[in-house]
Structure 1
Amino acid sequence: MGGLREVAAPFVVPGPSGVTIRAGLKGLSGQDEKALCLVGDLLGSLASRDLKDRCAAGLDHDNDQWARRKRVLTEESSSRWAGSITKATHDQWALARRSQLARIQMLQAGVDMVRRRLSLPIGAKGSQGLPGGYRSQAEWFTKSRRLHLLEDRLKQERADYEAGRVRVAHGGKKLLRTRHHLEAAQLTEEQWRRQWQAERRFLQADGESGRRFGNETIRVTPDGEVTIKLPAQLAALANAPNGRYVLACRVGFRHRGEQWIDRITVNRAVAYRIHYDVGLDRWYLTASWQTPSVRIVTLEAARTAGLIGVDTNADHLAAWRLDAHGNPVGEPRRFDYDLTGEAPHRDAQVRHALIRLLHWAKRHGLSIAIENLDFTADNTREKHGRQKRFRRLVSGLPTAKLRSRLVSMAAELGITVVAVDPAYTSRWGAQHWKHPLTTETRKTTRHDTAAVAIGRRALGYPIRRRTAPPPQHQSDAVGHRTVQAASSVPGREEARPRIPGPRTRSVGAGCGAKAGDQCAHNRSGHAAEHELWQQDSLPFSL
């Protein structure tokens, strides 16, 4: 047990900091679509050029260069369009930097794993959750060559990161690479070109508090009228005063529509984005704004009435309700979802499973405990080797999507989410809870016991159950003999050592503290028998 890592303390997950809603632009005329395409293509070309300048600046970028970039863009569009473009390109560069750092960490984990396995004898078994040596000399030789490849990639990524170089594409690398594999993607060149142009268009504007309806560039009135401030080069397309273009359609937000109207009527900032979906042949308007930071519920308050432990799996959520003392209550619940098919179907499946879970928690007024999962280092091929099925299983777990959706949806219902360390929850849950929770009418699975372990860890209790005494000593004179490890006991999450002999507090013959004191025993010749003792007679009045 010396190889067990330290378990992190549970914490309450903060709620979302923003809101995004979307509505379709139905009833656009041909002139409207033409105007949107021209404006989007012009601003998209400016955004591509600005992204190139931002990437060329690298780590030497400062406020003076930012202002210089904005002045250049203002001459060809407007100051507000220029501000939105420079902010979007800077955010894209920062995202590429974070992805580059994650790539370096993944390569470093792969290099360390290969080096460790190469240092072990061929056929050596693994220990403490780590794989052993390679199974054959041929595999060892192949992995030694792969080690040099990973080291070269790691060296190149580190050099780019230290120099501030990023490799990004306005429109997305994935779609750019699809151009070379049109047959595999089942696309024609014309279809790919339409998608590429749609992704490279730029039609998004940041909100401004104090301005009319919260946005001067893309303005949406409470009755749904959408007007766009045209760039200087396309001022001839204006059909409204002050170089503005008014769309023929009206827009309305069904989800959070009242909140959106409340914001724009008091001129609070709302950011808008107009984009075209090539597959559905529809235009959409997306509105987003920041929400004020709310007071986070304390961990003690979230534990008051107990909570629901949730175990995340590849095809379902396993949940079990626990009371405030860490005892399972009722029956386990299972919320299934199917992650096969296209992305909209997978997203809907995850959303529906979370809705059922949250409604169950809302009915009982309980918080939700979930694992703070991160499989970045566990889904690498260097750790699991030829176990492709297991790697696909781990990679298929929608941990990031589940976590983000659960937090945002729970915040709307006023449900607190507690994140716990996922270390050993499945193993210890099955070890300590599978047998006692299995009955003739209920077959408890490993995932159900993992949910119990997650809930107990969120409540601050150890996963190990209390040690029950033998039946003949459960309620005798010495009292109930179950013990619970305190929070200050080292290794309380570990397996209890096997103590030989009967597990009772009664002292065996000749083993007590007064085993050699004859005066402490009731036998012939004892000093207590030499004293005069006489029972008093009962009174006749009774």
Structure 2
Amino acid sequence: MGGLREAAEPFVVPGPSGVAIRTRLKHLTAEDVKVLRLVGDHLGALAARDLKVRCAAGLTHDKDQWAERKRGLTAESSSRYAGAITKATHDQWALARRGQMAYIQNLERGIGMIRHRLSLPVDEPGSKRAPGGYRSAQEWFAKTRRLHVLEDRLSAVRADWEAGKVRVVHGGKKLLNNRHNLEAAQFTEDEWRRRWEAERRFLQADGEAGKPFGNETIRVTPEGVVSIKLPAPLAHHANAPHGRYVLAARVSFPHRGDQWGDRVQAKRAVAYRIHEDVTRGRWYLTASWTMTPGRTVPLKTVRVGGLVGVDTNADHLAAWRLDKHGNPCGDPRRFFFDLTGPASHRDAQLRHAVIRLLHWAKRHGLAIAIEDLDFQREKTREKHGRRKRFRRVITGLPTSRLRGRLVAMAVELGLTIVAVDPAYTSRWGSQHWQKPLTTKTRKTTRHDAASVAIGRRALGHPIRRRTTPPHDDQSDRRGHRTVQAESDTRRREESRPRIPGPRTRCVLPGCGEKVGDQCVQDRSGHAAEYVELTLSLQER
């Protein structure tokens, strides 16, 4: 076992700290759409200007500059709109900084891998832990040139990081680049322009506790009436008192509508965002609020009744139910999904697979154990080289989205999620569990075996199993039985002792080289016979 990475301890995943629900704004009039676009364009221009100021400040930005930015925006909007814009701008700058650091780490991993492979002889075979040398001298030479390119990129990004300089596009860099390749992006100039304007609009407001309906800027009543506080330059478009505009649409929230209604009536903070889906030609309203995560169930309590081990794959979730001793129960389950097509289709497929898994676990009343996956180190092309198919597989795994969906949906059903270290689960699961669990009527895949390994690690049991029991006689020459001992049983991982006696008629009980109690073998008449022989020895 030398050189193997030590697996981290499993832990119970805390619940989500926020909720976001969305509904459609139906039956909007032409005037409603006009006002929404005017307000969104006006606030979007202010947000773009504020983002430029924030990026220029860099690391020297402080609370005084933040207050100055807010005062400059208040005159052209309102204090509440100014607060929402500055907060969103600061969050966007912080996100760009995190992305910049992730890019630096990715470049460092790529440079380290290229240097390692260049240090090896050409066509040097690799191992399971590290790739070998490059296949040809031509590839070796090409990688030396790529090494210099990556080093130049790294030095430039590091200089930006130290100076606090980030590059952010208000509206999205991908959409901006599509303007130069409209044919490849399958856009006309008018379609691109409408989408670009929609992405740059800013029409959202932060929640305010103690205010009527949880918000003063964008207000939604329990009856579904939506009204907006217009910025000062657009106040002449108001159709209600105090510079407000009431939309003709009436909204309701089918999902978590009761929770939203309770918060609105109790004057608790609720944030709102209005945005346009140009592709569908629809307007949507999103309500969000923060909440305190519930108390985390102790891991010892979760393990009492067993759990469900889940292995994440590129096209399905492999699950198997385990009892508290780590023994698989019943047959494995597979929940398939298709991650091709647009993002909305992929998200729906993943959501349907997760809810089927949760309903199955809910019927058995068990927690779910899943790997705490992170493929950032594996996604670099410098490590896997020409294995493009494998790189596509690990890149396509929706690890972060699956984890977020699973945790948020499990809380609603009252289920607990246990995260385990993914080290060696697939390899050891296939080695110890795939063949023993395969029968004439059941074909066990390596993913099914990995789900058993994940569940056993979450339960605190070792992944390896005991060997098959003897099938032709009652001797011990075939090794351990498959029956798992209790976790508190002493010496449960040792070899089973042999008790000679009347069955072998060779030596007296308690005198052999493998002395011990064989009650765990459940042999007929063994327990009574052992007690009787023990008493006779004591009398002697």
User: Do the structures match in fold with TM over 0.5?
Assistant: yes
Structure 1 SS opposite 2:436:
helix
Counterpart-to-counterpart distance in 2, 1:37 and 1:219: 18
Counterpart-to-counterpart distance in 1, 2:476 and 2:128: 42
TM-aligned CA deviation for residue 279 of structure 1: 0.4
CA contact (8 A) 1:473 1:481 kept: no
Structure 1 SS opposite 2:9:
coil
TM-aligned CA deviation for residue 68 of structure 1: 0.2
Moved more, 86-95 or 151-160: 151-160
TM-aligned CA deviation for residue 96 of structure 1: 0.6
TM-aligned CA deviation for residue 367 of structure 1: 0.4
Structure 2 SS opposite 1:437:
coil
Counterpart-to-counterpart distance in 2, 1:110 and 1:284: 42
CA contact (8 A) 2:369 2:419 kept: yes
Structure 2 SS opposite 1:116:
helix
Distance 1:384 1:480, change over 3 A: closer
Counterpart-to-counterpart distance in 2, 1:423 and 1:274: 43
Identity in percent: 71
Alignment-derived partner of residue 281 in structure 1: 281
Counterpart-to-counterpart distance in 1, 2:278 and 2:180: 20
Distance 1:244 1:38, change over 3 A: same
Counterpart-to-counterpart distance in 2, 1:352 and 1:270: 28
Structure 2 SS opposite 1:436:
coil
TM-aligned CA deviation for residue 334 of structure 1: 0.6
Alignment-derived partner of residue 109 in structure 2: 109
Alignment-derived partner of residue 39 in structure 2: 39
Counterpart-to-counterpart distance in 1, 2:474 and 2:165: 69
Alignment-derived partner of residue 184 in structure 2: 184
Structure 1 SS opposite 2:335:
strand
Moved more, 151-160 or 209-218: 151-160
Distance 1:262 1:355, change over 3 A: same
Alignment-derived partner of residue 248 in structure 2: 248
Counterpart-to-counterpart distance in 2, 1:206 and 1:255: 21
Q: Where does 1:418-429 land on structure 2 (aligned, <5 Å)? A: 418-429=418-429
TM-aligned CA deviation for residue 506 of structure 1: 8.6
1:259 equivalenced with 2:259 (yes/no): yes
Moved over 3 A (4+): 467-477, 479-488, 503-507
1:231 equivalenced with 2:231 (yes/no): yes
Alignment-derived partner of residue 455 in structure 1: 455
CA contact (8 A) 2:466 2:481 kept: no
Q: Where does 1:209-228 land on structure 2 (aligned, <5 Å)? A: 209-228=209-228
Alignment-derived partner of residue 271 in structure 1: 271
Structure 2 SS opposite 1:274:
strand
Counterpart-to-counterpart distance in 1, 2:199 and 2:476: 76
Deviation track 1:118-160 (CA, whole Å, cap 9, x = no partner) reads: 1111111112421111111111111111111111111111111
Counterpart-to-counterpart distance in 1, 2:199 and 2:376: 28
Aligned length: 501
Counterpart-to-counterpart distance in 2, 1:373 and 1:89: 31
Counterpart-to-counterpart distance in 2, 1:440 and 1:378: 37
Counterpart-to-counterpart distance in 1, 2:465 and 2:483: 9
Alignment-derived partner of residue 357 in structure 1: 357
TM-aligned CA deviation for residue 252 of structure 1: 1.0
TM-aligned CA deviation for residue 401 of structure 1: 1.1
Counterpart-to-counterpart distance in 2, 1:320 and 1:303: 15
Structure 2 SS opposite 1:334:
strand
TM-aligned CA deviation for residue 181 of structure 1: 1.1
Alignment-derived partner of residue 131 in structure 2: 131
Counterpart-to-counterpart distance in 1, 2:40 and 2:232: 13
Deviation track 1:165-202 (CA, whole Å, cap 9, x = no partner) reads: 11111111111111111101110111000000000000
TM-aligned CA deviation for residue 342 of structure 1: 1.1
Counterpart-to-counterpart distance in 2, 1:84 and 1:386: 47
TM-aligned CA deviation for residue 337 of structure 1: 0.6
Letter in 2 for 1:461: H
Alignment-derived partner of residue 374 in structure 1: 374
Structure ID, larger Rg: 1
CA contact (8 A) 2:307 2:321 kept: yes
CA contact (8 A) 1:469 1:504 kept: no
Counterpart-to-counterpart distance in 2, 1:465 and 1:476: 17
Counterpart-to-counterpart distance in 2, 1:428 and 1:411: 31
Counterpart-to-counterpart distance in 1, 2:116 and 2:101: 23
CA contact (8 A) 1:276 1:283 kept: yes
TM-aligned CA deviation for residue 450 of structure 1: 0.5
CA contact (8 A) 1:273 1:287 kept: yes
Letter in 2 for 1:418: V
Counterpart-to-counterpart distance in 1, 2:45 and 2:469: 76
Distance 1:504 1:468, change over 3 A: farther
Distance 1:483 1:279, change over 3 A: closer
Alignment-derived partner of residue 5 in structure 2: 5
Counterpart-to-counterpart distance in 2, 1:101 and 1:39: 35
CA contact (8 A) 2:14 2:293 kept: no
Letter in 2 for 1:281: G
Structure 2 SS opposite 1:168:
coil
Distance 1:443 1:484, change over 3 A: closer
Distance 1:397 1:481, change over 3 A: closer
Counterpart-to-counterpart distance in 2, 1:94 and 1:143: 34
1:165 equivalenced with 2:185 (yes/no): no
CA contact (8 A) 1:219 1:226 kept: yes
Deviation track 1:2-51 (CA, whole Å, cap 9, x = no partner) reads: 22111111111111111111111111111111111111000000000000
TM-score by length of 2: 0.89
Letter in 1 for 2:430: A
TM-aligned CA deviation for residue 303 of structure 1: 0.9
Moved more, 467-476 or 225-234: 467-476
Alignment-derived partner of residue 290 in structure 2: 290
Letter in 1 for 2:222: P
Counterpart-to-counterpart distance in 2, 1:112 and 1:308: 39
Structure 1 gap segments, 5+ residues each: 516-542
TM-aligned CA deviation for residue 468 of structure 1: 5.0
Alignment-derived partner of residue 414 in structure 1: 414
Letter in 1 for 2:239: N
Alignment-derived partner of residue 534 in structure 2: none
Alignment-derived partner of residue 99 in structure 2: 99
TM-aligned CA deviation for residue 293 of structure 1: 2.3
Structure 2 gap segments, 5+ residues each: 501-505, 513-540
Counterpart-to-counterpart distance in 1, 2:385 and 2:134: 9
Letter in 1 for 2:190: E
Alignment-derived partner of residue 442 in structure 2: 442
RMSD of aligned alpha carbons: 2.6
